[in-house]
């Protein structure tokens, strides 16, 4: 039985009602519940949480799926607070033990003190920016991808606690050129392909 934790980082703030990421999370649930030998839990950050219970969920899970909008090129404030509180509460309790260094040789091994080894994570993001803003010469992000640019720190954060990255999925142009049916279909295909591969029995 593979255990999967979904974390919905969408929230109601300003002109955002959090509905887009709620839709993504619902699509995730619908796909995963149809896979054999899986157990799924979900945390909707905007509904509140107990940081110590969330630590237990991270330790429980084999896979973590994060869903987050991107606001001003970063994580939303509520989702960032969630990570700060939960990861800090997870010190020596299953998320991380230390930064990995020793006082004898503090110059090396930074970021090797994570405790979530053997687990994997996936992230989805939603953007007003079109995909071409990341890919075309002369456009805003200078041909730097979401994962290597705005999410670089997020991915290193997960590496710090010893989580292994699975292929991300990014929703673009969700305000000016949204097509929910098209985008959710593409995402469902992505998620299905990733987990069919992950859950495929390993040959001895």
Domain ranges of the chain: 2-199
Determine phi and psi for 161, rounding to 5 degrees. Answer: -100, 15
Cα angle 67, 72, 76; round to 5: 40
Q: Which residues on adjacent β-strands are paired with residue 120?
A: 63, 164
Would the pLDDT of 15 be above 90? Answer: no
Which CATH class for the 2-199 domain?
alpha beta
Cβ proximity of 19 and 25 under 8 Å = no
- What is the rounded CA–CA span in Å between residue 168 and residue 154? 12
Write out the two tokens for 19: 């509905």
Residue-wise pLDDT for 165-200, tens only, equals 999 999 999 988 889 999 999 999 999 999 999 988
pLDDT band at 204 (very low <50, low <70, confident <90, very high): very low
Question: What's the pLDDT score for residue 16?
Answer: 67
């Amino acid at each position: 039985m593979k255990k999967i934790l979904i974390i919905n980082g969408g929230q109601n703030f300003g002109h955002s009602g959090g509905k887009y990421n709620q839709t993504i999370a619902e699509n995730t649930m619908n796909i995963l519940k149809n896979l054999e030998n899986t157990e799924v839990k979900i945390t909707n950050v905007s509904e509140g949480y107990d940081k110590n219970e969330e630590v237990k969920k991270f330790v429980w899970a084999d896979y973590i799926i994060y869903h987050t909008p991107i606001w001003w090129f970063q994580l939303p404030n509520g989702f960032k607070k969630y990570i700060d509180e939960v990861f800090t509460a997870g010190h020596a309790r299953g998320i991380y033990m230390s930064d990995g260094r020793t006082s004898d040789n503090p110059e090396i091994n930074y970021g090797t003190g994570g405790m979530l080894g053997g687990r994997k994570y996936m992230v989805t993001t939603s953007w007003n920016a079109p995909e071409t803003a990341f890919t075309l010469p002369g456009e805003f992000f200078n041909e730097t991808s979401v994962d290597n640019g705005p999410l670089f720190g997020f991915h290193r954060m997960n590496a710090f606690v010893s989580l292994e990255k699975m292929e991300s999925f990014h929703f673009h142009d969700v305000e000016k050129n949204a097509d929910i049916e098209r985008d959710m279909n593409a995402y469902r295909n992505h998620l299905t392909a990733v987990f069919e591969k992950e859950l495929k029995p390993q040959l001895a």
